[in-house]
Every structure is written in C-alpha cells, then in structure tokens.
A and B are shown apart, each in its own frame.
Chain A
Amino acid sequence: MDIIEKLKILSDAAKYDVSCSSSGSNRKNTNNGIGNASASGICHSFTPDGRCISLLKVLLTNYCVYDCSYCINRISNDIPRAVFTPEELAELTINFYKRNYIEGLFLSSAVINNPNHTMELLTKCVKLLRKVYKFNGYIHLKAIPGADEYLIKEAGLYADRMSVNIELPSSNSLKLLAPQKKKENILKPMGLIKNSIIETKDSLKFIKSTPQFVPGGQSTQLIVGATPENDLKIIKLTEGLYKKYSLKRVYFSAYVPVVQNNPKLPLISHPPLLREHRLYQADWLLRFYGFKASELLKEDNPNFDTNYDPKTSWALNNIHIFPIEVNKASYEMLLRVPGIGVRSALRIVAARKVAFLTYDNLKKLGVVMKRAQYFITCKGKYSGDTTFDLTNIKQRLTPSIRELMKINESQYEQLSFFSGLPDLYKPNDILSKINGEL
C-alpha cells in the first residue's frame, strides 16, 4: 500500500477525535534540532467543516480488537485497514513541518493486540521523532486505557499533551456501547498523568535538568447525542473532570451517525450541532466567567435552551440582580452580563479609571449592545429599548423564526408535522463559540 493510500485511510479514521489545539507548551528548539512549540497555538488551515487544522492528526493503525458500537473502526466493520511504520510517520511529520503545514503531530491509535502493545508502538514513534529526527514541535499523544503505568510514564516524557477519551458520559452508556472498555481503565491513566505532571513541576523547582513531562497538560472528549444523558449530567461531569484531573480542555463531539442499523444507537440524520454548541458555550462559562454547573442547569431544567445561550438564559432566570451599573460593578459582575465578554469587561474596567462610560462608549468598546442593553445602566440611565420587565426583555431577545432557519447553506429542511424540531441556531452564535465571548 503506498503512503498516500495509508494517509487517506488513517487520517479519515482519526477525524472524529476533535481535539485540535497546539497550545500550552513553549518547548524550545535545541541546537541541532528542528521546530519549537508556540504557547498560544497556531492554526494552519481550516477544513470546509470550519474546524482548524494545526496538527497532523492520524491513527498509527486502524486495526482494532474492540467492537465499540459507535466507532467506525470497530472490528466487526468491513473497512480498508492500514498501519504506518514509525519511519513513515516521522518522515511525514518532519516534511509537513518544514513546509509550515502543521505545528506538530497528533497520534492516536486503534487497539492492536492489546493496550500495552499499542502503547509501546506509540511510544516508539514519538521517541524516534524526538531523539533521531530531533523534532521539537508539538506532539499530542493519546494514552491507551488499560496500558501499564510505566509505559504511560515513558510516553509522557516525549509528548506536549496527552489525552484519554472518555467518550461516553456515564458508566451505563459505556456498558451498553463499549462493553470491552472498563471505566477504571479510562480514569486510571488520567490520574496517573495528572500526578506525574505535578511531580515534575515540583521537581523542576530544585533540579533544573528534570525532563519535561506533558507540559501542555491533558484533555479529554465526550460524545454528545449518542446516548440519553441530559446536558446537566454532561456539564456536571465536565466540571468534575476539570476539578479532579486538572484538565486543560474537555471537548464535545456531536455524534456523527456513521453507523446505521444498530438498535443501541439513536436514529438521527444530522449530528446535534446546536447541542454541542451550547455545551461549548457552557464550558467557556465554567472556565473563564466564574460560573458553576449548578448555576447553569438544575434538575427541573436539565437541558440548555435552544433560543438563548447559557449566559443569557441564566441572566433571564436571575433577573432580580439586574440592571447593574456599568461604571461601578465589579469585574466578576460585568462578566455575567450577556453581551459583555472577557475582552470587553477588561476594557470597561480600564477605561472607567479615567472617565465615566456612556451607552455610545460601550458600543465602541466592543460590547454587544443588542443583548447587554437590557441588563445595564450607564450613569444611572437604563439603556434598554423597552421597560425593564421580564416578558418584554424575553420577547426582544428571542430570535425570529427566519433567523433560526438561516443555519448554513446545506441544511435547509422541509419541516413536516412528524419530524422533531431540527437543530437550528443563529449565525451570530458561531462567532461566540470560537472566541468564547458571550
């Protein structure tokens, strides 16, 4: 099989692992090496589905011994299979890197023979890149659940980021769709990586020559829409993961129906993009806006609203604390106003040191006045274009049917009485998903 065919198969198989970041590590180049890592990450290209390409994302092999129902690479599926040699992989990575196509390598694998063997092969590949090819760019390596401790510890010495995909948000779903995988086997390497990162950081304070261990931290992925968990469960799990394992990111991947005719999997025609989008918005709120999961969703309201983003939803449910005075409120309170993002809040706090801010000033500073106007006062003057009343504000903020229908050019659907509501969302939401500003 030639290299183009191998690349086609093994990058096609890896694309459902949505983690794409190349940030978090400032690995420096060595004297006779090639490459370095950029702490903020660099996006080199964008695919027609809008996602960024910053790494060469491939499986080492898609020969798998497991039979997980949702996965395209499961052993019972009849698809072309391939495997890279470590040299082929290294040559690909180095040459793509030289031409500035990528920041580095994202290496995952299906489980060939058993977890230990797979982990050994993965480690062999990245070791070759680092030691022989003297590559100092970004490497994101998957840890295979069930592999031995010492193998994961060795692999971490060469990688900038490691991750273990949890995929299914509850142990019941795991038992149903991937019965060969055990929950403890998935969580154990995450705990191990977290502890090793802490140990290395401590050790570096005293011994400067301690080798780096996963300087970019860890991340994980949850599949949304393949199993019946509600948003509350998923977001609480996310919050718990950040706390317990000090993850850098939790990624959400809308379930893409690649598998037909399986009664265990939902029969949907489109991936639940709006749901995934709301979860990402909530994820930003947890990490940058000081929210807790219990503030965003409750048992009697366990799913995110289709009409409003989670911050606006929260503001409407807590309308009694608004309107707040923009010239006096604390930074934390400003962040909670719909339409004021982190950048705008910082600008407001800076600018009001020297002047009082008015409605026009705020608009120029980058505040989304379309939403924020209902929740703030400027120098005592209420800035909304209607009276401060919950029903009126809700009506103003609800998107019109025409706006909701404008998803993207390829997904117009003929609604019938028998179809459930299709996934719809405002084009403006797309931007907030990327820069996190709500």
Chain B
Amino acid sequence: MIAFIHDGSFEGFLTSIYEAYYNPKKPEEIFSEFSYEGELFYEPINIVTKEEKHEKVYKAIKEKIGTQAMYNIYYCFLCGDKYSHSLAYKYVKLGFKIGKDIDLHLHNPVVLSVINCVQKVQREKHRMLGFVRFKDVTRDLLYASIEPDHNILSLLANHFSQRLPKERWIIHDLKRNIAIIHKDGEWVLCNLCGGQEPINNSKDEDIYEKLWKQYFVSTTIKERTNSRLQKHHMPKRYWKHLLETESTPPFK
C-alpha cells in the first residue's frame, strides 16, 4: 500500500493531490510528515512541494467544486486527526466527479465525515478565541500558550490583530511548536525551536490575575453547582492554560 508523505503545509498537501492524479502509483493514504510514524504496511513516497503543481490544483478545485468545498478541504486539512488528509483527498476525488453539488450529498459517508471534521475544527477555533489567556510579561509583551487538538493557530491571528492592534503579543501552540508573533499591526506565523514548554514559566501573578481569579469565584452561584455542565462546555484538557480553574474542585 502506498502512502504519500508531504511536508505538512497546505501547499504540500495540494502537491500530493497533483501527484496522486498524474503519478502511475496511486496512494491509499496521504500523511503529513509530522504525523507519519513509519507504519508497517505502507510504502512511503515523499512529495516535494512545487508551486506550479499546487497552484494548478487550487485553481481546479475552486473552479470545478467551488469555494465552499475549498474551505471544507482547508479546514479538514487543519484537523488534528492523522487520517484527515486522506479524508480530504477522498473528498477531492468525489468533488471532481460530482461537481458543485457535493455538499448536498450528506448521505455519502465521505462527505458527511468531512462536514463533521470541519465542524470540529470550527468549534475548536471558536472556543479558542475565548480560552486564549494572555500573560503580561515585562509590561510590554502579552504571551499566551495553548495546546489545541487541531491546527487552528492561523485562524486566530486576524481576530486578535484586529482587537489588539497596538499591543505586542505572542500566541504559542505548544503541541506543534509554532507561534504567531504580532507587532505594530502585522503578524507572522513561524516555527519555534526548543522543547514543548511555554516560554514564560514565571509563577508571579500580577494584580489582574488575582482579580480575575477572585471574580471567577464570586460570580458563581453555589446553589446551582453543575460540574458536568461546566466540563461539557469547557473540556478539562483546556484547563491547563486557564488560570481561573485552579480554584475549581476537581470533577469526581
């Protein structure tokens, strides 16, 4: 069984699609090099990203399947599941066959899986807009660390740069070791070297962190305690980077 391994970028993924069409060896799966762990049954073929190849695929998808489908493919690509790139590849093949109506085919398991995957990524992005917590480091830099399931970092950039245009801030994705760095109205997404630790580990709180923790406690109505509901809205895996939940008793 053949698997294409690309360099992890969206352009790399689109190049793999190009190769899958024109290469005589068709792949069973497409993986990103970060999630491929050398599985036993696959014969890996590395794909080199080439601009004219991915440009062609991008244009073809937009023309033949439509902008909504392009959006779906991109969001599916961002999904943290290992097989999501293969799913997107199957969706593209189906899309070239069916055309612009593809999203109506919800009875087709590939289409339905893609739509569900897109929803997962959208949901996490929306949650993250709320769960990012900046820490005021050196009085001039705001630093936040997150560990999202899916690769949503790039989706957060525009939101925060419109909100905080005059501040210098960094949002650091610890899992993938990439970060958005913003200064003077412009932002850049880049890789960071080093381990998967947050850059700023200082435990000293500034006054606003104390105030926020106090606010969190005093705004709770104890007669209506419902930790299940709280956990449903704010899954525990996000609590590591939220400061206010230190005071919440652990869920039994």
Contact = CB atoms under 8 A, between A and B. Distances in A.
B219 A47 contact: yes
B229 A92 contact: no
A347 interface: yes
Q: Which residue, of B103, B166, B221, has the highest number of chain A Cβ atoms within 10 A?
A: B221
Contacts of A286: none
Interface residues on B, range: 35 or more
B106 interface: yes
B134 A99 contact: yes
Contacts of A354: 101, 104-105, 107
Contacts of B210: 4
Interface stretch (B23-31, B34-42, B123-131): B123-131
B230 A46 contact: yes
Contacts of B252: 409
A129 to B, nearest CB: 15
A96 B212 contact: yes
A344 to B, nearest CB: 10
Given A48-B230, A49-B226, A99 B142 contact: yes
B130 A54 contact: yes
Contact of A95 (B133, B160, B208, B230): B208
Contact of A256 (B109, B131, B223): B223
A357 B222 CA distance: 46
Interface string B127-144: 101111111100000101
Contact of B107 (A42, A52, A351): A351
B214 A7 contact: yes
Contact of B214 (A8, A40, A95): A8
Contact of B226 (A44, A96, A257, A408): A408
Contact of A271 (B109, B135, B224): B224
Contacts of A95: 208
B112 A365 contact: yes
Given A4-B214, A57-B219, A355 B224 contact: no
Contacts of A4: 210-211, 214
Contacts of B159: 38
A177 B46 CA distance: 75
Contacts of A100: 130, 132-134, 144, 160
A34 B166 contact: yes
Nearest to B161: A29
Contacts of A16: 221
A12 B199 CA distance: 35
A45 B239 CA distance: 10
Contact of A409 (B104, B129, B227): B227
Contacts of B129: 38, 42
Q: Which residue, of B166, B209, B229, B230, has the highest number of chain A Cβ atoms within 10 A?
A: B229
B234 interface: yes
Interface in A327-356: 347, 350-351, 353-355
Interface of B: 101, 103-107, 109, 112, 126-127, 129-136, 142, 144, 159-160, 162-167, 207-212, 214-216, 218-230, 232-234, 242, 244-245, 248-249, 252
Which are the 10 A-B pairs with shortest beta-carbon distances?
A50-B229, A351-B106, A49-B224, A50-B226, A44-B130, A12-B218, A47-B220, A46-B234, A99-B134, A46-B233
10 contacts: A3-B211, A4-B211, A4-B214, A15-B221, A29-B162, A29-B165, A49-B226, A137-B163, A354-B105, A434-B233
